[in-house]
Amino acid sequence: MYTATLASTRITRATNATPSQPTLLTALLALFKRVPTPTAPAACAVQELDAGTIVRVAQPMGRTISCQTGSLWLTFDNQPQDVVIEAGQSHRCTNGSALLIQSLVNARVLVE
């Protein structure tokens, strides 16, 4: 089961849960409705993210999200499929919907 800690914008995973369980979606929705999510800077920037940290990119169209270390879960508003990238991989955003980036483990992300 996933649990949301609203004060720190983190999600903690119990050992018997998987990311595909509906409880994760419920926890994420609760977080997004109640806690302001940090926004990625407009210019190119590398950010160090602790496991479970969520960063919002308001206008991702044309930007590239690069995972330098760790693993990142990318989810776009109103899009049915999410993207997971790992160290050394990147994703070019072709969608204008807001993007949420969650670090699955401690990670370093470059948004350009």
Cα 59–chain centre separation: 14
Q: In whole angstroms, what is the distance from residue 59 CA to residue 94 CA? A: 11
The partner residues of 47 in beta bridges, in order of sequence, read 109
- Using alpha carbons, list the distances in angstroms from residue 60 to 39, 47, 53, 75, 76: 11, 16, 18, 11, 9
For domain 37-112, the question of CATH label 3.65.10.10 is answered with no
pLDDT in tens, the chain (112 residues): 333 333 334 444 444 444 444 466 666 665 555 444 555 555 567 889 999 999 999 889 999 999 999 999 999 998 888 999 999 999 999 988 899 999 999 999 999 8
Q: What residue spans define the domains of the chain?
A: 1-36, 37-112
β pairing state of 90-92 and 45-49: unpaired
